Structure 1
Amino acid sequence: MKIFDTEGFPNPARVRIALAEKGATDKVDFIAVDVMGGEHRTDAFKAMNPDATVPCLELADGTHISQCNAITEYIDGHFEGPSLTGTTPKQRAQISMMNLRAENGLLNAVGTYFHHATPGLGPDLETDQCAVWGNRQKETATQTMTYLDEVLADNDYLAGAEFSVADITAFAGLAFADFAKVEIPESLSHLTAWRAKVASRPSIAG
């Protein structure tokens, strides 16, 4: 099993955390992709992943799986250990719901702000920018932080009592927010406490 990624980027970080939670980091080979050099946009890479994004999972039979949620779902089902995506229909639905809220409202919103309303990865990679849309998504990210804080006022984790992929996505989203200089409002004490708790997990703290 191979994972083509760029270490330190938000979505590759999600996959690496999921692997660590399952105790499977040493069961895959990581292949570095030079995003800054545009390797993800080459014909060779797009033959594996037409989305031209990292990460991309390659299975032993040559199958390629892209899209971070699909990769983490495969990892969760393939390796032993506590489930990150739920074991009952209700759990799976709740985790999926919160994961998508964290992804769309926080991680992707911060990404849109970074790529459209800041210099982002530089002029060679950032084309067709729309600053108005980027700044609107910055507002969306802050609104989502407030929503997540409200959820965490009554729950240990974003989808209930157990750590899940929703927490991984939100944690990566906040790390991206730090990088993009999108601040967490000081009033969001539940979100801040949750973040410290998640950061102390062996899969993240090392």
Structure 2
Amino acid sequence: MSIEIEMETTTMKIYDTEGFPNPARVRIALAEKGATNDVDFVAVDVMGGEHRTDAFKAKNPDAVVPCLELADGSHISQCTAITEYIDGHFEGPSLTGETPKERAQVSMMNLRAENGLLNAVGAYFHHATPGLGPDLETYQCAEWGNKQREVAGQTMSYLNEVLADNAYLAGNKFSMADITAFAGLAFADFAKVEIPQSLSNLNAWRAKVAARPSIAG
């Protein structure tokens, strides 16, 4: 008599909303590592408020996407933390740096791109525009949002200066910082935050990154 044993899946799950800027960061990181097919994507209906339900907040108390669920049932949220896990778990070129100096530089530039660009555009979108609509935008401060739009513009100019001397934001290697900044610029397009054509280094870098297989497909 033969006994069939059902093997437990070890596939990781990513709870996200395709097309949103932060989920895009994780999807790009997975593609860079050649690991897109090693995870299952679980769609979260953000427009319907699913991310604010008790069931989802049990996975991620931040009530935002994306959220990584590991095979043991534990969860990791925050894009930087998820990307660091992906980078260490899968084979392929490092996205977070290989030496202490590289890791510090990537972390520094990732924070500058995240706080000064991606999050700043997000604050403008959610506070100074209709954002995702009155059902989801339950508190808005237009003054704060418009100030963050200024911060985003200043950060774009700063990144343009960095790219005058570097192929990528943290040096000569593509990294997590580039993914974050690229997502930030995409969000800027969506939120109608102008990316000046005069920032030639930033625009050339953006075209170069957009051509990568992980993004261009």
TM bin, normalised by shorter chain, reads over 0.9
Answer with 1 or 2: which has the greater Rg: 2
Aligned residue among 15, 24, 30 for 1:19: 30
Matched letter for residue 44 of structure 1: A
Residues 125-164 of structure 1 aligned to structure 2 (within 5 Å): 125-164=136-175
Deviations 1:27-49 (A, max 9, x none): 00000000000000000000000
TM-aligned CA deviation for residue 98 of structure 1 = 0.1
TM-score, normalising length from structure 1?
A: 1.00
SS in 2 for 1:128: coil
Q: Structure 2: how far apart are the matches of 1:119 and 1:155?
A: 37
Q: Structure 2: how far apart are the matches of 1:94 and 1:175?
A: 23
Q: Structure 1: how far apart are the matches of 2:74 and 2:197?
A: 45
Residues 22-101 of structure 1 aligned to structure 2 (within 5 Å): 22-101=33-112
Higher normalized helix content (fraction of residues): 1
SS in 1 for 2:58: helix
TM-score, normalising length from structure 2?
A: 0.95
Asked if 1:3 corresponds to 2:14, the answer is yes
TM-aligned CA deviation for residue 183 of structure 1 = 0.6
SS in 2 for 1:2: strand
Percent of residue pairs identical: 86
Alignment length (residue pairs) = 206
Residue ranges of structure 1 left out of the alignment (5+ in a row)? none
What RMSD in Å do the two structures reach over aligned CA positions?
A: 0.3
TM-aligned CA deviation for residue 128 of structure 1 = 1.3
Moved segments of 4+, more than 3 Å: none
